[in-house]
Amino acid sequence: MTLLIVSSVLVGVFLGRFVLPSEVISWLDSFVSVALGILVLGVGIELGQSGDVLGKIRTLGWKLVWVPLVIGIGSIGGAVVMGRFLGLPFNESSAVGAGFGWYSLSGVLLTQIYRVDTGALAFLANVFREVLAIITIPIVAKFLGNLEAIAPGGATTMDVTLPLISKTTDEETTIIAFVTGAVLSAVVPILVPFFIGLVKIG
């Protein structure tokens, strides 16, 4: 599964870079939307077939609180530690980490309210987070555990990486992953401006 996932992404990058004409590239956004819609529909049907989802959410209670919280803290903490090694100021590394994989939003936010280069860094870092999540989720699920497998995806676990989590873990984890992704997505527009504003520019 992992090999198939990685090669799919690489084939895509190759096609986009060298094969597809630019008109086709501009349609890709809609293709992604349609594919995502179908996928999420499939995941929904699978979850629904597994029984009483609302009842399960009730029994999951505590996990739905701490999993998103801990993933958020771990993401920002990891980025800050790495930022120190790279010589980045705290506000920049924490804001990049607080993108949680939502590259379009974190990149645009930082470009607008801070600096273009930091925006580009946040965009790329969160693109990498999504791509690395796609690669690491199956590995983490296999060797560490299901809840741990939600962590790499960050905010993307409510859409792009949700089908992957549903394929490599179980129904309970898929529900936790969706809620986690939704919670983290909701706080990206709050946390990114908050962290970048912690230090005055210049």
Partner 1 sequence: MEKVIIFLAVGLFIGYRGLIPEKFRSLPGKITTVGLISLLVFMGAMLGGDATLMANIGTLGLQAFLLALAAIVGSVLLVFGVNRVGKMVAITRGNASKTSKTVSKAMNNTTCKGEGEV
Q: What residues numbered 47-76 form the site for partner 1, per CB under 8 A? A: 47-53, 66-67, 70-76
Stretch 128-147 residues interacting with partner 1 (CB under 8 A):
128-129, 131-134, 136, 140, 144-145, 147
10 lies in the site for partner 1, by CB under 8 A: yes
Stretch 79-118 residues interacting with partner 1 (CB under 8 A):
79, 81-83, 85-86, 88, 93, 96-97, 100, 117
15 lies in the site for partner 1, by CB under 8 A: yes
Give the separation between CA 54 and CA 61, rounded to whole angstroms.
11
Q: What is the CA radius of gyration of the chain?
A: 18
Shortest distance, position 113 Cβ to partner 1, whole Å: 19
> Of these, 91, 109, 114, 126, which contacts partner 1 (CB under 8 A)?
126
Shortest distance, position 5 Cβ to partner 1, whole Å: 6
